[in-house]
Amino acid sequence: MFDEKKLVSKILGRNKNITDVFFAACGGSLNDLFPVHYFIESESKKLHSMCKPARELVLIDSPRWNDKSITFVLSHSGNTPEAIEAAKIAKNNGSFVIAITNDKNSKLNDSSLYDDLIVYNWGKSVSHKDVPMGIEFRIVNEFLHQTEDDYTKYEDMLSGLNQIDSIIENAKNIQKDSAAKFAQKYRKQPFLYILGSGASTSQAYGFAICSLMEMQWMDCAYINSAEFFHGPFEVLQDDKVFVQCINAGKTRVLDERSRDFIEKYHGQLEVIDANKFGMDKIKDSVVDYFNPFVFYEMGVLYRDELSEKRGHQTDFRQYMGKVDYSYESDIK
């Protein structure tokens, strides 16, 4: 069983003066890292954090990526070349590398690539505490608790992590009929906009690029709700379709504002509102960080309903894993 206390002791045992955290992954895995990066930016007084597509992070190779840093490398398959490359560079730079994968027999399980390896299970019966986003939050929450005296949200985070599974079950039950109706109505829609903000900006992004583009071959775009009024809203007319994710917590005002405008000007609007799912069980102080768990699952729900109505299986690919799109590593 993974133990975040032991891991944090191991990190601090090697270097007590950690200043930076780097998050390296691609696509769906990058979405799982972003909320924890957002958490650090929002809560830590000491840590700097960078979260980028793995290969971009490697090409930048920030001067801060050194032995005073921790690097999270996440690859579900454990074989993503960009993630392997990022782990290699992180190790070369002296960073403490935490590699996270679903497959213990993958390329990422090479002891030269990490300081700690976490292999997680995946499936409907696995708690959200024990999948990558939950694991990362547990590690960083523990780290802040042990290293920053005035960090006060430790217990609230732990309590939230114990609530999130039941909230997600709620969310699926409550939203299922809407998702099915949406899928029926928009199964032939040529193009959709997905809106979200704050910690779940990455889940609006993942809804678009993973659930719809990758798994349904549907064209769509993701927009940060905060940016909607600064350009994107000019496309709004009554033939346009928007999925609006509405967070619980501080950034809710951003999502409500774009929702209200789209309604007023007759956009076709699907609202997914985290506040309807029992998020009040989570403390206000930390509720922001639990929105991404919910919206990841909402992307899955809508994708699955669309799959049914469109006759397009979610695991059907034309390119991924089927054709060659390898690249020559920049790392010699």
User: Residue 11 and residue 115: Cα distance in Å, rounded?
Assistant: 9
Binding segment (CB under 8 A) for a copy of itself, from list 36-44, 119-127, 132-140, 164-172: 36-44
Nearer to a copy of itself, 122 or 229 (CB): 229
Please give the structure tokens belonging to residue 22: 């780097």
The answer to the question of residue 221 lying near a copy of itself (CB under 8 A) is yes
Binding segment (CB under 8 A) for a copy of itself, from list 1-9, 22-30, 169-177, 274-282: 22-30
- Report DSSP letters for 219-269, one per residue: EEEEEEGGGGGGTGGGG-STT-EEEEEE-SSTTHHHHHHHHHHHHHTT-EE
The answer to the question of residue 286 lying near a copy of itself (CB under 8 A) is no
Helix axes 27-43, 132-147, angle to 10 degrees: 20
Question: Percent helix, strand and coil across the chain, each rounded to 5?
Answer: 50, 15, 30
116-119 and 69-75 beta bridge pairing: unpaired
CB atoms within 10 A of CB 109: 15
Nearer to a copy of itself, 9 or 42 (CB): 42
Site for a copy of itself in 121-180 (CB under 8 A): none
Single out the residue of 28, 35, 134, 160 in contact with a copy of itself (rule: CB under 8 A): 28
Nearer to a copy of itself, 56 or 280 (CB): 56
Binding site for a copy of itself (CB under 8 A): 26-28, 30, 38, 41-45, 48, 50, 53-56, 59-60, 62-64, 80, 82, 190-191, 197-198, 208-210, 213-215, 217-224, 226-227, 229-236, 240, 250-251, 253-254, 257, 261, 265, 317-320, 323, 325, 327, 330
